[in-house]
Amino acid sequence: MAAGLSMPASSAPGEAHDADTHRLWYRQPAVKWTEALPVGNGRAGAMVFGGVARERLQLNEDTLWSGGRYHPVNPAARAALPEVRRLIFAGRYAEAQALADATLMAKPLKQMAYQTAGDLFIDMPQFVETDIRDYERELDLDAACASTRFVANGTHFRRDVVACAIRQVIAVRLSADRSGAISCEVSLTSPLQRALTVDGDTIVLSGRNGDKEGVASALRFEVRARVIARGGASTARDGKIGVQGADEVTLLIAMATSFRRFDDVSGDPAAITRTRLDAARAHDFMTIAAQAAAEHRRLYRGVQLDLGRTDAANQPTDLRIQASEQANDPALATLYFNYARYLLICASRPKSQPANLQGIWNDSLDPPWGSKYTININTEMNYWPAEVTGLAECTAPLIEMIRELAESGARTAREMYGARGWVAHHNTDLWRATAPIDGAQWGLWPTGGAWLCTHLWTRYEYGRDVKWLATVYPLMRGAAEFFVDVLQRDPSTGFLVTNPSISPENRHPQGASVCAGPAMDMQILRDLFEQTAAAADILAIDAPFAAQIRTLREQLAPDKVGALGQLQEWQEDWDAAAPERDHRHVSHLYGLYPSHQINLRDTPALAAAARRSLELRGDQSTGWATAWRINLWARLGDGDHAHRILKFLLGPGRTYPNMFDAHPPFQIDGNFGGAAAIAEMLLQSRGDELLLLPALPKAWPTGSVRGLRAKGACTVDLHWRAGLLRHADLVSAIGGVYRVHLGERSVTVTLQPGRPVRLIGVALRVRRSG
């Protein structure tokens, strides 16, 4: 009997015509890594190339980083800190930066890097000289499956790849519609130090991570690939397994390292991979794929977006991207949104590591920027779409990382600053290093941990779980306590400021980056202090500390409007003369987005200044910076401007053929920031206020979205036609009173737990169900 070519039902949710918003597809194999298609289960990932004579799966395991635990605080830092502060307040910035570079920066100056585990190859040399027709490869976002199909010598061949979160394996199936048609050779390789053996039907690749910056390797890792043939004959030779004349071949791949925690590397990767493969072997590929799809859909199907469709959606994905800036292809924005949600589910699950600069996918031992956690924007941006698009569960790894940073950051606070609480600067890694790295121009920024703590408050606001808030309050308090100890009184203004700091990663016209009290720091600390105090109020604890930080909050240097009408990036009006007026970072606009301190309704003058800053910065930047700009224009209620930038983001300059974001090179934060921006154009949630369709562009005249989340455990569905709201459905798991805005119209809506309310049309007429 011929092997079957079927897969579990993979029709996308919603109407039949919307399959092209849940599917990436191509008419040729990937040649470059940025053409390959990603699968992942949170811990393990693979990039699938879809080759014919040679299939390549580039493999990653999320704890495979270079080095080991290390303590990088510069022993000279604490003694030198007062002089660096004095020089900055005296306006001697270049001298201050030189002294900071010599005394304050981490040792080593660089952090550890995320590393590839290697590659699995499936060689089918019989296809080298064969005419191939009807080739197609795809990534089904709904089924979480990468597939390759082609016809050779009249036989239909298919390969399917899934990364199963339930079984913690990557599974591959090779099938055909003719018995005995599958012949292949399977091999594993890695650029890391390794040993390769064959144990029966299993290839075992074991080794160690790499050294870096003088930090010795501390991890053992293992990749196991089990080859299960149905029919035919299997042989092992030279560390490879060959199969001849099989009806079907299934590969099960498990990966692990000895990492257990940033301070514990006592795990047994051999035992872990062996156990996972043994458990997975009890199930055939179809069962594993069905389990993978069901677990993925549990999260993925929570939101359904329809922005309209044109014939442009009929083309393969790479051609749609090439044409996107000129074409009318609203479904491409929907696909981009869905893809970002797919990527976050694949890269960030409970008990995995957080999504790093490349999510979970990286083919290098020393990738750009180490593929680290850059916490002066990029890590935070990775999680911007999580709450609003129904993926709160995916924030669990980020929250766990904040807990661990609070531990390592307490040592940095104590040894570097002589302060209580904890601090993290602009980057961290698997080992939770928190000292300033790379040089003062980039790394001397003490507010990374504070920004991360705002995500704790965001998680509380969306879920309103008081018991959970109690578990993270000590992290928020510790971050605030650090700044209680280190804030300095600016002798020229009397305001409290950070010193030393920078405005990430910009230079000011005084020949340096170091400064006191950049706008972003002040905005982040206003949020941190207010959110920590609010948490104390909710928990009915720590009233004296809450009062103290509220008092300090009022003494922080305020936002200022400069001579160009712009929101000032620094305490001095330096923006006009800054060396890079179009700098990729728009750090001083944190108060507009992701914060709500600046908004059209309450602070119109500052909102106008933020708009002017955006005009001066320009619309086009690196991938993630472009995504940030879209969010900012959405907050300003300018949907057409936001959409104009979105079209640039979706174009070939900022989106690779596989839809990965191009900084360039690849950084995944642009994907996540772009998805957050699309949601922001449709729904904005601030406290108990909801803004419906606040930045709807003319390019999306008719559409709908189901399942967006608002603060207060609230779900929002929206349907609009001809640019006007038809109806909005609100339901909250816990109930609450909301002020709902649609343009200039507003209505107060009281929600009872679990009981939906429908708002009808532009009049916002309330109709209750039941």
Q: Tell me the C-alpha distance between 300 and 145, whole Å.
A: 13
For 35-56, what is each residue's pLDDT tens digit?
A: 999 999 999 999 999 999 999 9
Q: What are the DSSP calls for 576-627, one per residue?
A: GG-S-TT-S--GGGTTTTTS-SS-TTT-HHHHHHHHHHHHHH-S--SHHHHH
Q: Is the pLDDT of residue 770 over 60?
A: no
pLDDT at 3: 44
For 498-551, what is each residue's pLDDT tens digit?
A: 999 999 999 999 999 999 999 999 999 999 999 999 999 999 999 999 999 999
Q: Which residue has the tokens 């803004």?
A: 691
For 162-218, what is each residue's pLDDT tens digit?
A: 999 999 999 999 999 999 999 999 999 999 988 999 999 999 999 999 999 999 999
Q: Tell me the C-alpha distance between 559 and 578, whole Å.
A: 18
Can you tell me the mean pLDDT for 460-466? Answer: 98
Using omega within 30 degrees of 0 as the cis cutoff, is the peptide bond preceding 665 cis?
yes
pTM (global) more than 0.75: yes
Q: Is the pLDDT of residue 720 over 60?
A: yes
- Reported confidence tier of residue 767, pLDDT bands at 50, 70, 90: confident
- Reported as type and span, the H/E element at residue 428 is strand 427-428
Which residue, among 479, 480, 469, has the nearest Cα to 406 in the 3D structure?
479
Q: Is the pLDDT of residue 715 over 90?
A: yes
Report the relative pairing of strands 145-152 and 44-48 from DSSP bridges: unpaired
Q: Tell me the C-alpha distance between 423 and 447, whole Å.
A: 7
Question: What tokens were used for 149?
Answer: 């199909």
Q: Tell me the C-alpha distance between 10 and 91, whole Å.
A: 63
Distances (CA, A) of 385 to 345, 395, 536, 738: 11, 10, 27, 22
What sign for the dihedral angle of Cα 587, 589, 593, 598? positive
Q: Under a CB-based contact definition with an 8 Å cutoff, are residues 210 and 218 in contact?
A: no
For residue 439, what are the contacts with CB-CB under 8 A and spacing of at least 6? 101, 105, 109
9-36 as b/e, with b when 16 or more CB fall inside 10 Å?
ebebebeeebbbbbbbbbeebbeebbbb
Q: Tell me the C-alpha distance between 504 and 506, whole Å.
A: 5
- Reported confidence tier of residue 425, pLDDT bands at 50, 70, 90: very high
| Length of the chain, in residues | 770
Can you tell me the mean pLDDT for 658-682? Answer: 98
SS3 660: coil
Q: Is the pLDDT of residue 10 over 50?
A: no
For 388-415, what is each residue's pLDDT tens digit?
A: 999 999 999 999 999 999 999 999 999 9
Q: Tell me the C-alpha distance between 152 and 130, whole Å.
A: 7
